[in-house]
Amino acid sequence: MSPSRSKTPSSSLERLDGWVDEFLSYIRFEKGLAENTVAAYRRDLALWREFCRLTTTDPKKVTPKDVTDFLERLRAGRPPATRALSPSSVARLVVSMRALYRFLTKENKVDSDPTTTLGVPKLPRSLPKAIPIEDIERLLELPDSTPLGRRDRAMLEVLYGAGVRISELVDLDIDDINLDEGSLLVRSGKGSKARLVPVGRAARKAVGDYLTTTRPEIVKKRAARASGGQAALFLNARGGRLSRQGAWKILKTYAGTAGLGAKVSPHTLRHSFATHMLDGGADIRVVQELLGHASLATTQVYTLVSDQRLREVYLTSHPRARS
């Protein structure tokens, strides 16, 4: 029996729990990772803990073979997995395992890192899905002139006009937008890094109409609750801060009306913003700053979309290409 397969007492699992808590605190407070990212690491490492329990693997004496066995179980859908995981899910688990054991090695919790020889599976590159400008325009014209319609128009205009994530949209406060300068301060980007984003004429007009008519009416009738409605830019019908789920539901409703239901996801307007900017001649580094990407490589995937669009236009337009 290998050292890592010796009897694993509950104290060893408790020690692993403590290590994971330390690691999560480290990536949350020292690395500044977003809560959603921290939660994803927690879920991944819960699977590793269950593997250690099921196989009596000592977390302090893990070998590369133990990690490989763990990943093979996940691919095959064997416990601790309840179903076969996709290559992208397994790749994410690899990243989580490597991050944990690099931390534990650095903190002298373990003698060696069992993940150093572990390769991340290569995944097929998936291109962001953007929708044509004419579809965007049709979507943005749908909200009516009712109070909530004005709110919805402002919300959709900001989503597309500034390229923000839905989570960033609902975290906006009134003080974060400057209609005179045409700028938006996004405070809740990944890694808690703030960025200043220009706001175009259409979005400024839509937000201005919403702020002068609808928002005061919602506050007056419903009285903003303690959920942050007093400062929030976008309010729900009860006067509280609009939630991420609420914003997503609004978007899906309009997308369905426009016949774009299957094409629109929470990130579609952001993807379309980036793609249309590049199609219009914007520099990729400018788009990187607007999106809040830490790495240019993250933004470069949009250049593939634009190149693909150029090819489509060429093949359908050039007389010697159509044949």
Report cis status (omega within 30 of 0) of the bond before 124: no
Residue 293 a catalytic site member: yes
Which of 60, 75, 92, 190 is an active site residue? 190
Q: Catalytic site residue 190?
A: yes
Is 270 annotated in the active site?
yes
**Token representation of residue 24:** 């999560």
User: Which residues make Cβ contacts (< 8 Å) with residue 79, sequence separation at least 6?
Assistant: 50, 54, 73
DSSP annotation of 120: P
Q: Are strands 195-198 and 183-186 parallel, antiparallel or unpaired?
A: antiparallel
Q: In whole angstroms, what is the distance from residue 24 CA to residue 22 CA? A: 6
The single-letter code of the amino acid at 11 is: S
Is 244 among the residues known to form the active site?
no
The tokens describing 274, both together, are: 């980036």
**Which one of 153, 165, 204, 241 is the catalytic residue?**
165
Return the number of other C-beta atoms located less than 10 Å from residue 262's C-beta: 8
Residue 57 and residue 5 in contact, taking contact as beta carbons nearer than 8 Å: yes
Distance, CA of 189 to CA of 186 (rounded, Å)? 7
Pick the catalytic residue: 31, 238, 267, 285?
267
Among the options 73, 151, 215, 270, which is catalytic? 270
Count the helix, strand and coil residues of the chain and give each as a percent rounded to the nearest 5: 60, 5, 35
Catalytic residue annotation: 165, 190, 267, 270, 293, 302
